[in-house]
Amino acid sequence: MTMNGSWGYKSWDHNWKSTELLIRNLVDIASKGGNYLLNIGPKEDGSVPQESIDRLAQIGNWMKVNGNAIYATKASPLQDLDWGRCTIKTDGKNTRLNLFVFNWPANGKLVVPAITNKAVEARLVATGKKLDVKNENGTIVIGVPAAAPDKIASLIQLTVTGEVANINIKGTQKMKTGELD
């Protein structure tokens, strides 16, 4: 992905993507098991445009807090989440679900659907605060504060017992031919 509208430097291209879009794209791609290639398009003298430097610094600051939920993670085992994205890591005999919340729940309850594993704990990464968590009718419900700590993507790490079943059915169908269908 480019940081503005072109792959190479264009002095007239001022269509810079926001830091929010760049971070949310990173999270979205990680939640699908992919890698994010971000093109900075240096100027003709080899220097990097200030807009790129600013966005990379902001992404770096966000990664200092949330990077362990991006690096060395696996794709989400869950179907699409209307409030955000998820990555996972094995944590001994438990699984840690990294829940990136884009749309903070107004009712104070974040519902993680279709998980029957027993919830061990939930923690808001930005503050380190433990959150109330309970299993409820085949879902996990996490009590969250009234306001999101990060307007771009707040991270909650949810630890559950055992391995989480993969219910993400997208991409399970085989192609009909060797060509893109």
Identify which has the larger pLDDT, 132 or 116.
Answer: 132
- 116 belongs to a structural domain: yes
> How much is the pLDDT for 175?
52
Return the CATH number at 125.
Answer: 2.60.40.1180
Query: pLDDT tens digits, residue range 7-65?
Result: 777 777 778 899 999 999 999 999 999 999 888 888 889 899 999 999 999 999 999 99
Give the model's pLDDT for residue 150.
95
pLDDT in tens, 123-154: 999 999 999 999 999 899 999 999 999 999 99
pLDDT value at residue 67: 96
Model pLDDT, residue 170: 62
pLDDT digits over 70-97, tens only? 999 999 999 889 999 999 999 889 999 9
* Residue 181 reports pLDDT greater than 50: no
Q: Where does residue 84 rank: exposed (0-12), middle (13-18), buried (19+ CB within 10 A)?
A: buried
**Owning domain of residue 116:** 84-161
Contact yes or no for 89/74 (Cβ under 8 A): yes
Same domain? For 61 and 26 the reply is yes
- Residue 75 included in any domain: no
> How many domains are there within the chain?
2
Last residue of a domain, one of 10, 42, 69: 69
pLDDT category, 176, cuts 50, 70, 90?
Answer: low
